[in-house]
Chains A and B, each alone.
Chain A
Amino acid sequence: METLKFFGRRLVHSIFVFLAIVSILFFVFRLMPGDPTMLFISPEMSVDAIERIRHSFGLDKPLYVQYFKYIANIFLGNFGISYYFMEPAAPMVFEALKNTLILTIPAMCLSYLFGVVGGTLLAWWRGKKRELWGMAFALILRSAPAFWIGLIFLYVFAFHFEWFPGGSITDTGVAYEGFWEMVLSWDFAHHLILPVLSMTCYLTGLPLLLTRTSVLEVIKEDYVEMARAKGIGPRRVMFRHVTRTAILPVVTAFATAIAYAFGGSVLIEVVYTWPGIGRLMVDSMLGSDYPVAQFAFMIMACMMIVMNLLADFVYAYLDPRVAVK
């Protein structure tokens, strides 16, 4: 019963957060300099032609009218037509989202795997010489910018050694029946490796350092000392008793990170010419393509909210000490 009430409250709260976010999205895009009609203006046009275009897009109506239409449309599931492509915004965003997820989810899972294992190891090596080398490596990884890693990998492995293609999602001119057919092809895998590698390197830094800090904290706890006193071997203590507690902050971080995975990494996508949602978001923002930009950000916001909710529940399950009041 308690859990149900908690769940209900959090859900209602989330809906309000969602509404606030979509409202902010609406106003922020319209306050930015630039106007979607600029996409269509060419010096060859007359003033009333431009006015007609604004009217066709409904941009000549007062702002509050446009806003209410926008909110109403969201609840009706109508997410508008892209000003740049003149096709429905939602399918386009989902297409880009699929491309992004296929890149970011593997990268994230790998980076958290390496991060947790690496972080635990680093904590294990506390005080030894290996720790210094490990820490140096971890810090370099953490501070290197994503696009730099991407460019280095691209240059070395694609252009210098020519082991991998220089970008894009598949070879030029190759057509596939459907999304899954493409994803399961060797051609696609060949194109996927470098971007995933770059992204993994970029993302590993956080879980690695987080795990290490967390483990170092937990090691000091009384119950760990108790376990050692009972005669349990150091390796078993580390991987069964310590990690389970230490992993809690990392789980929360992972849940939030999944939400970021939906936003893609625009820098990796530009370097590798990956047709993902990160690039779509940035391009649509710069080109004042409001419907696409709004919907893309909306999806990300939704995911954030959902993931945060999930993180709360997973945390409560993993750590019974978190009482649900």
Chain B
Amino acid sequence: MKKGNWIKLWCLLIGVAMVMSLVAVATADAKLAKKRQVRELRFVAYSPGTHKMWHESQKYMANKMEELGLQIDFRPMQRAGVLQNLWYSRNFDFGTLYLTGRPTRVDPNMILSKLYHSRDDRIGGYNWAGYHNPEYDKAIDDSNLYASDLEKRKELIWKAQAIATRDVPIITIVHQMMLDAYNNKKWTGAVSMIGNGLKNVWNWTSMEPLTDDKVLVAAYRDDSGVLNPTTSHESNVMACRAVYDTLTHVGPDGAPKPWLAESWTWISPTEIEFNLRKGHKWHDGKPVTAKDVKFTIDWIKEKKVAYHLVAAGPIKEVKVIDDHTVRYILKFPYAPLLAYTGEQIFILPEHIWKDVPEKVGVDDPIMWSPSADGKFIGSGFLKFDYWRKKDELKLVANKDHFFAPKYDARIFKYIPSAEAALGRLRKGEVDMLIDYNGDAMALKKICEAEPNLTMAMEPSIGWYELSMNTRRPPLDDPIVRRAIAAAIPRDVIAKNIWKGFAIPAYSPTHSMLKPWFNPNVNIYEKELGLAGAKKILKEAGYEWDSKGLLYYPAGKTNEGWEKKK
């Protein structure tokens, strides 16, 4: 053949090959009808300004999901916007929030209920994933009945964790480190509590001054807001825990310890008798009696004080036996009673709160500012002195308290700038930083460089989580959720993005909470990994097109997803 003809032949062959491959690709995509393509999913995230490390973690998670073939509409916004989407408009596929460490969350029931129980699928509830599993609800509800049979309760708590991590409507990503720091040349006796760090009553009643300066100055970011024991903001609760007593307080190891109640006896699974401390007084001199305890519970129920109502819920009746003995009669056995109800409810002075809200000029107890009327009076280890808003709050030691502090006063100094707080700690203007939320690495470096500064790190009992809106396809399919969980390596997030200032949260229950933590929960990123994720999707009938985008199995589409709220 002539040379020209060979060239023409080769061009023809290449042309045919190209056309054929195009046709193959086109037909392959045609088989995957457009309507089977998984829709773009809305990821409601935190903006970098709200929380830099969490924002990066979320971007990383979104990237991982894209590797699976999902299209992500990533929406960073302020916390208020996130709550709006999660609670009110329910406009999200992936949402995220976090819980801070609080002593009331140490009992495993609180967190396990909040995330996964069907009754918490509501405005203000944390089950925005919309997970409804009667088997789970029963496991958790039943676990509360075994107040004395620890083995049986543990079995059910482990079961709940197993179900939650098997169906994975919510992935708990990391337990963040609670960061605190203090000047060790001026103060000693710091006590750390599981899941809470130095932010606990045991610490405040054991810290001791080493110099003549007997006023403990601790820096906080946010002002307390109204000082009222019926209001729930975190900063206000910290002040109330010092000014008011509760019957019990969860100890540093997680078990409830006596506080206002010196001891207790279970008379029956639904009746408990508390012996209160004798000779204890309110800050205005009047005696603390069992009548105040009865009044507190009755008043909370009568006025429907939202913040304490759930904790008081299981109590049917309170009986005053004598001045220092009081009985709770429960509606049903309730295992979290001492660690939750006992820890949560501030015992209020009847002689002040019987007038609230009617005689103090407000409609609801949460709208009253007791400190403005000189009535911020409790029986706790600190007494109210003064409050300069957005500047400082001073509480003085109650030397008559059964756990009286070894210092004279404690000042909450409100410093919104983390850099300024750090500088002032170093300079000696403040003695402690509590719940530091600035650059953790900077804090660590400074504490290592200065021998007079000690840093305390404690993984929070709370966590940061990724919720999937299980009401909407494709997230209503547990296989898709498992695949997403398998694609997100939590240890990488903890090590590389949080730089070690967080630990992976494989179970919603804190890994150091014994005996409640279940070590046998599903960890899909280890069991399956990305390859395994794609495998289980394939086995379920999901497919990918030439661009790598995910398609539903035959017969399923996105139809009707907007109506699912």
A residues near B (Cβ < 8 Å) are 32-35, 38-47, 49-50, 52-53, 56, 81, 84-87, 92, 95-96, 151, 154-155, 158-159, 162, 165-169, 172-173, 175, 270-273, 275, 279-280, 283, 286, 288
Instruction: Assess the A50–B415 pair: CB atoms within 8 A.
Output: no
Instruction: Assess the A154–B304 pair: CB atoms within 8 A.
Output: no
Instruction: Assess the B366–A53 pair: CB atoms within 8 A.
Output: yes
* B84 within 8 Å of A (CB atoms): yes
Cβ contacts under 8 Å, A49 to chain B: 124, 304, 306, 309
Cβ contacts under 8 Å, A95 to chain B: 389
| Distance to closest chain A CB from B442 (angstroms) | 13
Bound complex: CA of A173 vs CA of B386, how far in Å? 10
Instruction: Assess the B415–A86 pair: CB atoms within 8 A.
Output: no
Instruction: Assess the B232–A172 pair: CB atoms within 8 A.
Output: no
Cβ contacts under 8 Å, A159 to chain B: 423, 426-427
How many B residues, CB 8 Å from partner? Answer: 63
- Chain B 372-405 residues near chain A, CB threshold 8 A: 372, 386, 388-392, 394
* B433 within 8 Å of A (CB atoms): no
Cβ contacts under 8 Å, B364 to chain A: 52-53, 56
Most buried by B among A168, A169, A270, A271: A168
Cβ contacts under 8 Å, B430 to chain A: 172
Instruction: Assess the B310–A46 pair: CB atoms within 8 A.
Output: yes
Bound complex: CA of A137 vs CA of B84, how far in Å? 47
Given A41-B123, A87-B226, 18 additional A-B pairs, CB 8 A = A34-B80, A34-B83, A38-B80, A40-B306, A40-B366, A41-B87, A45-B307, A49-B304, A49-B309, A50-B306, A84-B225, A86-B368, A159-B426, A162-B427, A168-B415, A270-B417, A280-B390, A286-B80
- The answer, among B77, B123, B417, for a CB contact under 8 Å with A50, is B123
Cβ contacts under 8 Å, A32 to chain B: 80
Q: A38-B83, A84-B226, A173-B215 are contacts. A46–B416 as well, Cβ < 8 Å?
A: no
| Distance to closest chain A CB from B36 (angstroms) | 34
Bound complex: CA of A155 vs CA of B394, how far in Å? 27
Q: A86-B226, A159-B427 are contacts. A166–B420 as well, Cβ < 8 Å?
A: yes
Instruction: Assess the A43–B369 pair: CB atoms within 8 A.
Output: no
Cβ contacts under 8 Å, A272 to chain B: 420
Q: A33-B81, A166-B420 are contacts. A44–B232 as well, Cβ < 8 Å?
A: yes
What are 20 sample pairs from A and B whose C-beta atoms fall under 8 A apart?
Answer: A33-B77, A41-B232, A42-B124, A43-B99, A44-B306, A45-B309, A52-B306, A56-B363, A81-B367, A86-B228, A86-B366, A86-B368, A154-B420, A167-B420, A168-B415, A173-B217, A173-B394, A175-B386, A273-B416, A279-B416
| Distance to closest chain A CB from B530 (angstroms) | 33
Q: A85-B389, A168-B391 are contacts. A40–B231 as well, Cβ < 8 Å?
A: yes
Instruction: Assess the A44–B309 pair: CB atoms within 8 A.
Output: yes
Instruction: Assess the B84–A35 pair: CB atoms within 8 A.
Output: yes
| Distance to closest chain A CB from B472 (angstroms) | 21
Cβ contacts under 8 Å, A280 to chain B: 390
Cβ contacts under 8 Å, B363 to chain A: 56
Interface of B is mostly: mixed
Bound complex: CA of A167 vs CA of B77, how far in Å? 30
Cβ contacts under 8 Å, A279 to chain B: 390, 416
Instruction: Assess the A85–B232 pair: CB atoms within 8 A.
Output: no
Chain B 344-382, CB-CB to A under 8 Å as 1, else 0, gives 100000000000000000111011110010000000000
Bound complex: CA of A83 vs CA of B310, how far in Å? 23
- The answer, among B228, B231, B389, B423, for a CB contact under 8 Å with A92, is B389
| Distance to closest chain B CB from A236 (angstroms) | 49
Bound complex: CA of A46 vs CA of B366, how far in Å? 15
Most buried by A among B124, B364, B391, B414: B124
Instruction: Assess the B423–A42 pair: CB atoms within 8 A.
Output: no
Instruction: Assess the B423–A154 pair: CB atoms within 8 A.
Output: yes
* B424 within 8 Å of A (CB atoms): yes
- The answer, among A44, A151, A158, for a CB contact under 8 Å with B427, is A158
| Distance to closest chain B CB from A61 (angstroms) | 14
Bound complex: CA of A234 vs CA of B362, how far in Å? 71
Instruction: Assess the A53–B306 pair: CB atoms within 8 A.
Output: yes
* B120 within 8 Å of A (CB atoms): yes
* B286 within 8 Å of A (CB atoms): no
Cβ contacts under 8 Å, B114 to chain A: 43
* B175 within 8 Å of A (CB atoms): no
Instruction: Assess the A288–B427 pair: CB atoms within 8 A.
Output: no
Cβ contacts under 8 Å, B362 to chain A: 86
Instruction: Assess the B392–A43 pair: CB atoms within 8 A.
Output: no
* B419 within 8 Å of A (CB atoms): yes
Instruction: Assess the A85–B420 pair: CB atoms within 8 A.
Output: no
Bound complex: CA of A86 vs CA of B391, how far in Å? 17
Most buried by B among A50, A159, A288: A159
| Distance to closest chain A CB from B100 (angstroms) | 11
* B318 within 8 Å of A (CB atoms): no
| Distance to closest chain B CB from A163 (angstroms) | 11
Bound complex: CA of A141 vs CA of B126, how far in Å? 49
| Distance to closest chain B CB from A117 (angstroms) | 33
Bound complex: CA of A192 vs CA of B4, how far in Å? 91
* B413 within 8 Å of A (CB atoms): yes
| Distance to closest chain B CB from A295 (angstroms) | 15
Residue on A nearest B424 in the bound complex, by CB? A166
Bound complex: CA of A92 vs CA of B372, how far in Å? 12
Closest 8 CB pairs of A and B: A34-B80, A49-B306, A42-B232, A86-B226, A33-B81, A166-B424, A45-B306, A86-B369
Instruction: Assess the B420–A275 pair: CB atoms within 8 A.
Output: no
| Distance to closest chain A CB from B384 (angstroms) | 14
Cβ contacts under 8 Å, A175 to chain B: 386
Residue on A nearest B306 in the bound complex, by CB? A49
Bound complex: CA of A288 vs CA of B362, how far in Å? 20
Instruction: Assess the B416–A39 pair: CB atoms within 8 A.
Output: no
| Distance to closest chain A CB from B340 (angstroms) | 10
Bound complex: CA of A33 vs CA of B47, how far in Å? 14
| Distance to closest chain A CB from B229 (angstroms) | 13
Bound complex: CA of A154 vs CA of B78, how far in Å? 29
Residue on A nearest B122 in the bound complex, by CB? A47
* B411 within 8 Å of A (CB atoms): yes
Chain B 229-249, CB-CB to A under 8 Å as 1, else 0, gives 001110000000000000000
Bound complex: CA of A155 vs CA of B424, how far in Å? 10
Cβ contacts under 8 Å, A50 to chain B: 123-124, 306
- Chain B 415-438 residues near chain A, CB threshold 8 A: 415-417, 419-420, 423-424, 426-427, 429-430
Instruction: Assess the A172–B124 pair: CB atoms within 8 A.
Output: no
Bound complex: CA of A86 vs CA of B372, how far in Å? 9
Cβ contacts under 8 Å, A44 to chain B: 232, 306-311, 344
Q: A33-B84, A52-B364, A288-B80 are contacts. A167–B424 as well, Cβ < 8 Å?
A: yes
Instruction: Assess the B307–A275 pair: CB atoms within 8 A.
Output: no
Instruction: Assess the B423–A168 pair: CB atoms within 8 A.
Output: no
Instruction: Assess the B84–A39 pair: CB atoms within 8 A.
Output: no
Instruction: Assess the B416–A43 pair: CB atoms within 8 A.
Output: no
* B529 within 8 Å of A (CB atoms): no
* B553 within 8 Å of A (CB atoms): no
| Distance to closest chain B CB from A154 (angstroms) | 7
* B76 within 8 Å of A (CB atoms): no
Instruction: Assess the B423–A166 pair: CB atoms within 8 A.
Output: yes
Residue on B nearest A44 in the bound complex, by CB? B310
Most buried by A among B99, B362, B419: B419
| Distance to closest chain A CB from B234 (angstroms) | 9
Instruction: Assess the A87–B372 pair: CB atoms within 8 A.
Output: yes
| Distance to closest chain B CB from A151 (angstroms) | 7
| Distance to closest chain A CB from B467 (angstroms) | 14
* B125 within 8 Å of A (CB atoms): yes
Instruction: Assess the A275–B389 pair: CB atoms within 8 A.
Output: yes
Bound complex: CA of A50 vs CA of B233, how far in Å? 15
Bound complex: CA of A175 vs CA of B385, how far in Å? 11
Chain B 66-108, CB-CB to A under 8 Å as 1, else 0, gives 0000000000011011011001100000000001000000000
